Amino acid sequence: MALRRIYDAIFFFFISLLLLFPSPSVSDSATQFCSAERGYGEESCRDPSSSSSSTRILIKGGTVVNAHHQQLADVYVEDGIIVAVQPNIKVGDEVTVLDATGKFVMPGGIDPHTHLAMEFMGTETIDDFFSGQAAALAGGTTMHIDFVIPVNGNLVAGFESYENKSRNACMDYGFHMAITKWDDGVSKDMEIMVKEKGINSFKFFLAYKGSLMVTDDLLLEGLKRCKSLGALAMVHAENGDAVFEGQKRMIELGITGPEGHALSRPPVLEGEATSRAIRLARFVNTPLYVVHVMSVDAMDEIAKARKAGQKVIGEPVVSGLILDDHWLWDPDFTIASKYVMSPPIRPVGHGKALQDALSTGILQLVGTDHCTFNSTQKALGLDDFRKIPNGVNGLEERMHLTWDTMVGSGQISATDFVRITSTECAKIFNIYPRKGAILPGSDADIIILNPNSSYEITSKSHHSRSDTNVYEGRRGQGKVEVTIAGGRIVWENDELKVVPGSGKYVEMPPFSYLFDGIEKSDANYLSSLRAPVKRVSTEPHRNGKYKNSTFRQKIYPGSGDKEEKQEIKPMTTVSLRKQNTRLPPEVNRVLYVRNLPFNITSEEMYDIFGKYGAIRQIRIGCNKDTKGTAFVVYEDIYDAKQAVDHLSGFNVANRYLIVLYYQHAKMSKKFDQKKNEEEVAKLQEKYGVSTKDK
């Protein structure tokens, strides 16, 4: 923690020094940005004076919105940092004043999922780090996290390649790292990425057989390594083997157009891979991030895992929320092919279900999977959909479409909008509150959004280099009118004012909040094993008789080095279950549970407690004195002990359970204490537990 404070102090010191010197900026509109065809960011770009890049900015009269709160306040920015957030800030001269009356002042968006300058399927994405980021700034996104693809499986070489690709960046960015093979060198490189390069997440592709796809054994090794490093494991969840078979089937049926792409990789394959990845992550006990959730099938698997308390993050993308797959059947190949991405855009109904999941917290944040190819590149698959480069646009459109679709329709609030487009991403990747907040000390990445202003999306006016747009012609309400990145006004009056090379690489430290409690749950698991058990030797002597091994150790979880030996006869076994074996006196098969959600059902209780053994009875408190409490009666005393070991502190709907043995619980008289004591006594007598243990 002390080192972190020193790092932050040094960082802010150097930022202050850098901002003492004005940087040049480009003030031309998108259509005038460069004489080259959508070629801004190249050597031909102009570099006029930076009169608009003031290091002191005051935003007055707006509604400041954070993920946790909104208020009427002014925001004062100096040298790239937010200095004050309060009403009626007074400043002197030489301060740029922006009037935000009637508008929302919000943290700039953070896109967790992009592919810029990526070599893929025999070509390279048309947007590089400058053009893609310029488009993002015009749409209100001020940081993104891109995926580094290793060079021949080498992580360090891949990182160096992307360092070179990002030299013209015009806004802040971070990196995820893909893992495409496994050996000791990859394991060591992962540690270098985390400890030296500021990468805290690694992606595993379960699709793209023959290129990026990993097998289950590699995924397991990667999950274990991620856990040890405090890095977040991410998965592209489609069953690559089944997709490969589906593609062959479509070709055999003569289906070679873009519609074959969706038909060859149906939602069930996304659901299967999502389920498999979640279960493997549960086996390793490490958090999991599922990228571009496109189907109800995948969303349902995430919902079940989160309900059970597993740490799984689900990321829908704008295309999956907004679009449906009918475009893939368009007779014009140019139109149909621009919608080809993986997993595919799904049929009608999936998008609305994903919106509902996003609004209720089943899915946590919105990305884009921005991976653009122009119509010429898409035509590589004119006669075979398997050769169409996969990817769509979204960096510039994400904030507008999410606001109009989710806030404009009343599905979420303005604070929720900030959470799903900025704050949650910053928290997951451990850069909050430097990013994702309008607070004193945070980076001055800010947008001003006018909820009453309208927009229209077209490929003629967007800032991507692509000549197509999957949201062509879409209109909506809620437009980003001003974008401030790093304390500089980079988008205002529909004009971009950006500088190649002004973007900074943001290092992201490991062990985000998702790793809280992992060590404790590991310890609880180990204490529940009741193993190893020393068994009687069955190795015979030369005379045909068995060795006289007459002792067996009984080791209780959590008992340390204490051992109890029991003399037995040769060739017999002793079961630790269903006997009058004495456990520590507090152990009982009747549990008292507190701090339950008031609306929990008996079915949900059985789902939670039934994992640890057969349950005889569950009684949930119903009146005002007993709401939030319950009795759980197990058939077996050892199952009850496992439940106490595992479920004490278990999170259910943001409430942490308190699980006690019946003897130690202080129960309400209103819960008919006498009747329950008689019932428990009968159960204890029936199943052979000494009443002296009470």
The Cα-based distances of 547 to 428, 550, 553, 564, 567 in angstroms read 58, 9, 17, 21, 14
Tell whether 236 and 275 lie within a shared domain: yes
- In this structure, what token pair is assigned to residue 114? 């992009």
**Above 60 in pLDDT, residue 547?**
no
Domain annotation covers residue 3: no
* pLDDT band (50, 70, 90) for residue 650: confident
Taking each helix axis from N to C terminus, what angle separates 296-307 and 350-360, rounded to the nearest 10 degrees? 20
Query: Is residue 479 pLDDT above 50, yes or no?
Result: yes
Q: Are the beta carbons of 541 and 567 closer than 8 angstroms?
A: no
State whether 273 and 385 are in the same domain: yes
Stretch 159-185: mean pLDDT, rounded?
A: 98
CA atoms within 13 A on the CB side of 680: 24
d(Cα 628, Cα 621) in Å, to the nearest integer? 7
Compute CA distances 264 → 27, 243, 245, 297, 323, whole Å.
46, 6, 8, 16, 19
Q: Is the pLDDT of residue 578 over 50?
A: no
Q: Is residue 615 part of a domain?
A: yes
CATH number at residue 225: 3.20.20.140
Range of the domain at 554: 529-567
pLDDT over 70 for what percent of the chain? 80
pLDDT, mean of residues 215-224:
98
Classify residue 431: in a domain, yes or no: yes
Radius of gyration of the chain (CA): 30
* Per-residue pLDDT, 680: 61
Residue 640 maps to which CATH number?
A: 3.30.70.330
- Burial zone of 499 (CB within 10 Å; 0-12 exposed, 13-18 middle, 19+ buried): buried
Say which residue, 584 or 640, is predicted with more confidence: 640
Give pLDDT tens digits for 334-376.
999 999 999 999 999 999 999 999 999 999 999 999 999 999 9
Residue 223 has pLDDT above 60, yes or no: yes
Do 360 and 500 have their domain in common?
yes
Residue 649: is its pLDDT beyond 70? yes
Task: Report the pLDDT averaged over residues 543-564.
Answer: 44
Provide the token pair at 601: 């059902």
The mean per-residue pLDDT over the stretch 298-321 comes to: 98
pLDDT score for 492: 98
Q: Write down the pTM of the prediction.
A: 0.74
The residue-averaged pLDDT of 217-221 equals: 98
In this structure, the answer to whether residues 561 and 596 fall within a common structural domain is no
pLDDT at 550 over 50: no
The interaxial angle of helices 216-229 and 184-196, nearest 10 deg, is: 30
Residues 553 and 454 reside in one and the same domain: no
Q: Is residue 312 part of a domain?
A: yes
Q: Cα separations (Å) of 13 from 9, 174, 672?
A: 6, 21, 66
Identify whether residues 316 and 228 lie together within a single domain. Answer: yes
The confidence score (pLDDT) of residue 51 equals 36
- 378 neighbors 324 (Cβ within 8 angstroms): no
Beta-carbon contacts of 459 under 8 Å, excluding residues fewer than 6 positions away, are 466, 467, 468, 469, 472
Contact yes or no for 659/647 (Cβ under 8 A): yes
Mean pLDDT value across residues 16-37: 36
39 lies in some domain: no
Confidence at residue 57, expressed as pLDDT on a 0 to 100 scale: 98
Q: Which of 198-212, 497-511, 666-680 has the lowest mean pLDDT?
A: 666-680
Which of the two residues, 196 and 633, has the higher pLDDT score? 196
Indicate whether 583 pLDDT > 90. no
DSSP 125: -
On whether both 264 and 399 belong to a single domain, the answer is yes
Q: Is residue 8 part of a domain?
A: no
The total domain count for the chain is 3
**Mean pLDDT value across the chain:** 86
Amino acid 25: pLDDT: 36
Q: Which of 450, 481, 515 is the last residue of a domain?
A: 515
pLDDT value at position 548? 47
Q: At residue 553, does pLDDT exceed 60?
A: no
Q: Are residues 260 and 362 in the same domain?
A: yes
**Claim to verify: residue 539 and residue 642 sit in the same structural domain:** no
Per-residue pLDDT at 442: 98
Q: Are 582 and 693 in contact (CB under 8 A)?
A: yes
